[in-house]
Structures are given as C-alpha cells and as structure tokens.
Amino acid sequence: MYYLGVFLILFNLFGFASMGYDKFKARHGGYRVREAYLLGMAFFGAAPGCYLGMRVFHHKTQHGAFKYGLPLLVFWNLGAALVLHYVISVNW
C-alpha cells in the first residue's frame, strides 16, 4: 500500500511538470507534449496533478477534453484509488 501511495504522488508530480513543460514549449517553440499523452497519464492516475498544472500554468483551459475531461478523470482516479485501497487492505 505504501508503494502505491508513493507511486501516485510521483506520477502526479510528473503530470504537473508535464503540463508546465508543455506550456513552456508552447510559448518558446519546439516539440510539444502530445494531448493523448497528457490525457493518458491523467487516465492512469495523474489526473489531480495534470488538473492542478492546467490551473497553475493556465494551459489547455479552453480545450474541451481538458476543461471537462480532467475534472471527471480526477473523480475516476479517486474512485480507482479507493477500490485499490479496499482490495489491497482486504486481501493482504
């Protein structure tokens, strides 16, 4: 259980940093982070970090997939984390 929590914290920090990096690249040119990559990270556990990055860096706030999708994915991530917590704590 401890390792799952550490993983989720690090993965969310990475999601937050990815949003900041993409915003930096949007302003200064260069290769950008793909939207599918950002949404994929959010789906698999980094939605809170990506959502926070979207708000802090004011990045992708007008894209419907991010504006409406990330808040839904935050709830998805929280629900999945609760289910994993329950399954791990009951079976271990």
Question: What sign results for the dihedral spanned by CA atoms 83, 4, 37, 14?
Answer: positive
Tell me the average pLDDT of the chain.
92
Please tell me the distance from the alpha carbon of residue 20 to that of residue 56, in angstroms, as a whole number. 8
Does position 1 have pLDDT exceeding 80, yes or no? no
Q: What is the pTM of this model?
A: 0.88
Does position 92 have pLDDT exceeding 80, yes or no? no
pLDDT of residue 84: 86
Does position 34 have pLDDT exceeding 80, yes or no? yes
Does position 40 have pLDDT exceeding 70, yes or no? yes
Nearest in space to 74 (alpha carbons), one of 35, 48, 38, 92: 48
- pLDDT tens for residues 69-89? 999 999 999 999 889 888 888
